[in-house]
Structure formats: C-alpha cells, structure tokens
Structure 1
Amino acid sequence: MTNTLSTPTVRDVLTRLHGAADADERAPHRAIPAGADAQELADLMADIYMPISARGGELLYSLIRAARPETVVEFGTSYGISTLYLAAAVADNGVGHVYGTEMSATKLAAAQDVLAEAGLADHVTILHGDARSTLDAVPGPIGLVLLDGWKDLCLPVLRSLEPRLTPGALVVADDTTMATMAEYLDYVRTPGNGYVSVDFPVEDGMEISCRA
C-alpha cells in the first residue's frame, strides 16, 4: 500500500519545514497590538509558521486514509505543513481534493511552492482571503475539516460549513489547550449540537469530533 509520507521527496520537505518551524518557535516574536483584526494579524505574522505537529499530521493522514473523504477543508493553511499531510492522504486514496484557505498572500505563495516541490499541488486548491467567505464556494459533501486558523474564528467557520458536512464527517481542531478555544470546545462537546467529540493528546491538543 502506498504511503506518500515515506517517499524521499515528501519526507525531506516535511523534515525541512518542521525544522524551520521549530527554530521559529524558539525565536523571539514581535508584540501583537491589541484590537488587530484577522487580516491585520495575518499580515503581521506572515513570517511565523504556527504549524501542526508531526504527530498531529500523521494522525490527520491516517484519518483521511480511513475515512476516504471526497472533500477535505483546511482552515488556516499557513506555510503548508499540515496541507502536505492532507494532500498526501488524498493522493494515496486516489480520491478527494483538499481546499485550504489563507489570509496571508506571503504564506499562500509559500504553501503553493512547497506543495509543488512535494509533487502534491494537483490535489490542493488554496483560497486567498477570509475563510468566513472564501469557503462558501467549496462544494459539499465535506468529509473532513481541519480547523487550525485563528482560534476565535474556528467556531464561526465550523458553523458556516455545517450544512455541507456529510453524516459521519470528521472535524479536527488543533491547539485545543489554548484558552481561546474554550467556546469551540463547549460547542462540539455539547451533545445537542450534533457531535461526538474526543480530546486527542498530541502536542498542544487536538479535538476530534464526528458529525453524528
């Protein structure tokens, strides 16, 4: 069975990007002004990776291989690290397409470059702009969603996608240890909202929710 993650090209790209992200994590970052909106934050942080962890990426790859979704949505592409895991999975399934969204033009261009370098660009469309509007054009049914953008927007983005979620769709939220994810977690953990939700112990926390 094919596993694109283990091919030298994709493995080398991911190793380089995770290494750069680790170095970025240790570097001092500029202060973020209070009251900045989502686009201002995206522009201010255009040089910061903010990636998913390698273990989180492997989890996403496994979920997509198992679920075989036709449409995968990613909120918050950044430099494309998580996108590589998503794209590798749909490529290996032989079915599906990834729709990402990114507000930073700098990050969008960088993500497109790494996807092309890894030979996975044909499996991904990255939409430029605010996910609350760009994702309106993504066709359903949506089988898997990764929420890894601005944390205060995760719940509004999920709510906007809900009418297009297929029964049994998986919704994965990253960085769930952050205080700003509290409202999102309360929503997906409330049974009346239609999810069965489990906390998964990877770096910075992940919540895996099934649209029941």
Structure 2
Amino acid sequence: MTSTLLDPKVRALLDKLFDAAARDGELSTREIPDDVRGRADALADVYMPISAAGGRLLYALVRAIRPKVVVEFGTSYGISTLHLAAAVRDNGTGHVYGTELSATKVTAARANLATADLSDHVTILEGDALDTLAGVPGPIGLLLVDGWKELSLPVLRLLEPRLAPGALVVADDITLPSMRHYLDHVRDPANGYLGVEFPVEDGMEISCRV
C-alpha cells in the first residue's frame, strides 16, 4: 500500500505549510499576553508545528498500533493533524479528534484537511481543551500532547481514565522548561508509564500506558 503522505497533493500541501512555519521566528519579538486565550489570539498567525521528522514518526506510530481513537491537543494549522489523519486513512480504521483554541487556526486546519481530502477522518473541536476533550470517546489509543505547555499535564490527567492499555502518549517540545511537571509525571513509574525520549528537533517523549 502506498502511503497517503506520498500523495502529490498531500506532499505539496505539507511542503507549503512547513515553508510558512519556517517564518515563525520572524514573529518572536511581539508582546504576548500571559493568559491562554490572549496568547492564542496574539499568535493566531504562528504555526508552531511539529518537525517533519516528528510528523513521520507520528504517522509510523499510528500505522503500527492501529488505534481506534487518536486525540491531538494543539491542532494549530493542522500539520500534525494531516500526518495523523493520513495514517488513520491508510489503516482503514480509526478517527482523529483535535482541539484548538484559536478560531483562525481551526478554520485554517479544516481547510487544509479538506485540501488533502482527509476531512472525513478528523473532528476538530474549537475551544479550551479542558472543555472540548472532556467528551471525547475512548478508549484512546494515541494521544499527541502539543498545545500550551502549562496545560500538558492537566490535559493528560483529564484523558488518563480513557487511555487504552498500551496506549501511546507523545509529547512535543520536551526541552522547554515548562514541560518539567509533565515529564516528572510520565517518567515516574508509579503513574503507569514506560517511555523514552526521542531526539527530534525540540525533543519528543513517547510514553506507553502500561
């Protein structure tokens, strides 16, 4: 079977999005509000994506474990979502639930999924993740944690009761100091995870729910 990631239309879209995301650094001097809603509005034009290697890793993980439910905290413009949706489509089973606070980004992500003909495999929920993800069905086979870093642990704790045995939890940007509490949680065996740090860009932590 040929991977959807190799489809010329999907490949061209991802190249375009990664090129646009490469300009994020030019916007780093702006003043950013402290509150999450204000931050989301102020950074509505900033992509903040996973790396290309991280995207391929997510695709491979979903293909390997064939989860029925995939949850993504932090959809942004949908770069990671496209990789997850492509894997679900190629598996022939499963559905992706993404959440995003910025209305601008929700609109853009939905448009990108439509361009890639992957909309049927994804539901993007608009709003605060602690509200939108409260109703996501389980059991969750793969969870991507890539939203506001101070919410990473609260989101994980919210979803832990719905994680399937053997579920994978993947967190991006683990080199950021704001991920310390999250990492302390998933790296403590008493909390039910066994994981490994994966060396892509700002680092990913892959934790298996044991």
Q: Deviations over 1:78-103 (max 9, x none)?
A: 00011000000000000000000000
Match of 1:163, SS?
helix
Match of 2:106 in 1: 108
CA distance, structure 2, for counterparts of residue 26 and residue 98 of structure 1: 31
Which residue of 124, 127, 133 maps to 1:126?
124
TM-score (norm: length of structure 2): 0.98
Structure 2 counterparts to residues 16-165 of structure 1, below 5 A: 16-33=16-33, 36-165=34-163
Give structure 2 stretches of 5+ with no counterpart.
none
CA distance, structure 1, for counterparts of residue 38 and residue 7 of structure 2: 38
CA distance, structure 1, for counterparts of residue 5 and residue 91 of structure 2: 13
Calculate the aligned-residue CA RMSD, in Å: 0.8
Match of 1:2 in 2: 2
Identity %: 67
Match of 1:95, SS?
coil
Q: Deviations over 1:54-90 (max 9, x none)?
A: 0000000000000000000000000001100000000
CA distance, structure 2, for counterparts of residue 28 and residue 157 of structure 1: 26
Which piece of structure 1 moves more, 50-59 or 19-28?
A: 19-28
Runs of 4+ in 1 over 6 A off after TM superposition: none
Q: CA deviation at 1:26?
A: 3.9
Q: CA deviation at 1:197?
A: 1.3
Q: CA deviation at 1:24?
A: 2.4
CA distance, structure 2, for counterparts of residue 119 and residue 25 of structure 1: 30
TM-score (norm: length of structure 1): 0.97
Match of 2:30, SS?
coil
Q: Deviations over 1:31-51 (max 9, x none)?
A: 213xx2211111111111100
Which residue of 161, 167, 183 maps to 2:165?
167
Give the residue type in structure 2 aligned to 1:180.
S
Give the residue type in structure 2 aligned to 1:75.
F
Give the residue type in structure 1 aligned to 2:87.
A
Which piece of structure 1 moves more, 43-52 or 17-26?
A: 17-26
Give structure 1 stretches of 5+ with no counterpart.
none
